[in-house]
Amino acid sequence: MNLIERFATADKGYHAIAGLVIFAAGAALTLSIGWGAVAAVIGGVLKEMYDRDRSETHTADHWDAFATAAPGLLIWLVSLLL
């Protein structure tokens, strides 16, 4: 399975939506896009740590952490360019 096939799944889409929500909450609470991006990264990493610790019922995947963090990081990077 190549990178595009691995990343273009419904599961990754759900992770991206969750990351966007985490980013928005973090940015709203701190009034900072940067901290919103940090919140999305932390949220993605913590979720995968949770999955790793419950490997008998969950599957940890570093691409899930990336999919969660990506929306917030992308918005933050675009804000730096504007």
Give the residue extent of every domain in the chain. 33-82
In the structure, what pLDDT confidence band is assigned to residue 11 with cuts at 50, 70 and 90? confident
Highest mean pLDDT among 2-6, 12-16, 28-32: 28-32
Identify the pLDDT of residue 68.
96
Identify the pLDDT of residue 75.
97
No. of helices (H) and no. of strands (E), the chain: 4, 0
7 contact partners, CB below 8 Å, separation of at least 6: 63, 67
> 29-68 pLDDT, tens per residue?
999 999 999 999 999 999 999 999 998 998 899 999 999 9
Rounded Cα distance between 19 and 37, Å, is 9
Query: For residue 56, what is the DSSP state?
Result: T
Query: For residue 58, what is the DSSP state?
Result: -
